[in-house]
């Protein structure tokens, strides 16, 4: 039984779970479910789909916990699983033609916007409204989008992004810079 969860690191919890402690698993779920939801939302732009993918990520964690090795940080490992599942979902959607670039249209009905009830005032009054920013992120090419979400929304370190995306730190920095410039360009065009 995990009595005081705060004193355990993610890595200690996964090792406990590998030994059969299901409370450790639940603690990891509670620690990461919201972070992963926001991360996946950047890909699929639907809370329901994002939540399904997060559930699949945790199911994978449950069934493949033995695959985790200490060489990687747990956060890197779980984000990598989630990113792969999100990409698979996007590929499936593309194949099934649930939506396509031409169908997308960027209407609000296609694009679920989080409730603004708890949005800080300064972000609503910001030059760029949240929904335009989210739409602009959605329009980015996948490599730039992933790097940007991980760094600027999830606020992970360059090193963590590098491990998740499996590219060098130099390439991560370059992608983030180019992604930001592209985002800026898209927003500028949208605001015209």
Partner 1 sequence: MNCYRFETLISDYLGNNISHSMKSEMEKHLGECPNCRAKLEDMKQILHSLHKLPKLQTSANFNEKLMEKIEHHKSKKKFIFKQFVYKYSQPLSTAAAVIILLFGVYYIYNSIFPNMPNQKISTSEIQNNILNPTQLSQPANNSINNLQKKPQYVKAENDDSSETNIDQRNNFENKIKMVNKEK
**Distance between CA atoms of 116 and 62, rounded to whole angstroms?**
34
Contact assessment for residue 73 and residue 163, using Cβ atoms and an 8 Å cutoff: yes
Contact assessment for residue 42 and residue 70, using Cβ atoms and an 8 Å cutoff: no
**Distance between CA atoms of 8 and 24, rounded to whole angstroms?**
9
Burial class (CB in 10 A: 0-12, 13-18, 19+), 153: middle
* Sites for partner 1 among residues 55-74 (CB under 8 A): 55, 58-59, 62-63
Q: Does 161 sit near partner 1 (CB under 8 A)?
A: no
Q: Does 108 sit near partner 1 (CB under 8 A)?
A: no
Measured distance between the N- and C-terminal CA atoms of the chain, rounded to whole angstroms:
57
Q: How far is the CB of 62 from partner 1 (least distance, A)?
A: 5
Q: Does 90 sit near partner 1 (CB under 8 A)?
A: no
With CB under 8 A as the contact rule, the residue among 65, 90, 133, 167 that binds partner 1 is: 133
Count interface residues toward partner 1 (CB under 8 A): 44
Nearer to partner 1, 62 or 99 (CB): 62
* Residue tagged 């690191």 (tokens): 9
Half-sphere exposure of 112 (CA within 13 A, CB side): 15
> Which range touches partner 1 (CB under 8 A), out of 28-36, 81-89, 92-100, 159-167?
28-36
Positions in the binding site for partner 1 (CB under 8 A): 26, 29-30, 33-34, 37-38, 41, 47, 50-51, 54-55, 58-59, 62-63, 114-116, 118-120, 122-123, 126-128, 130, 133-134, 148, 152-153, 155, 173, 176-177, 180-181, 183-184, 187-188
């Amino acid at each position: 039984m995990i009595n005081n969860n705060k004193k355990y690191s993610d890595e200690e919890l996964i090792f406990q779970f590998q030994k059969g402690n299901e409370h450790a698993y639940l603690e990891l779920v509670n620690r990461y479910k919201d972070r992963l939801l926001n991360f996946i939302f950047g890909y699929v732009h639907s809370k329901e789909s994002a939540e399904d993918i997060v559930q699949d990520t945790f199911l994978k964690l449950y069934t493949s916990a033995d695959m985790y090795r200490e060489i990687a940080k747990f956060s890197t490992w779980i984000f990598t699983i989630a990113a792969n599942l999100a990409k698979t979902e996007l590929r499936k959607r593309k194949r099934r033609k649930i939506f396509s670039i031409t169908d997308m249209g960027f209407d609000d009905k296609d694009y679920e916007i989080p409730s603004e009830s708890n949005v800080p005032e300064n972000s609503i009054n910001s030059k760029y409204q949240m929904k335009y920013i989210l739409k602009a992120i959605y329009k980015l090419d996948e490599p730039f989008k992933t790097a940007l979400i991980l760094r600027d929304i999830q606020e992970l370190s360059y090193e963590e992004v590098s491990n998740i995306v499996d590219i060098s730190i130099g390439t991560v920095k370059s992608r983030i810079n180019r992604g930001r410039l592209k985002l800026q360009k898209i927003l500028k065009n949208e605001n015209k």
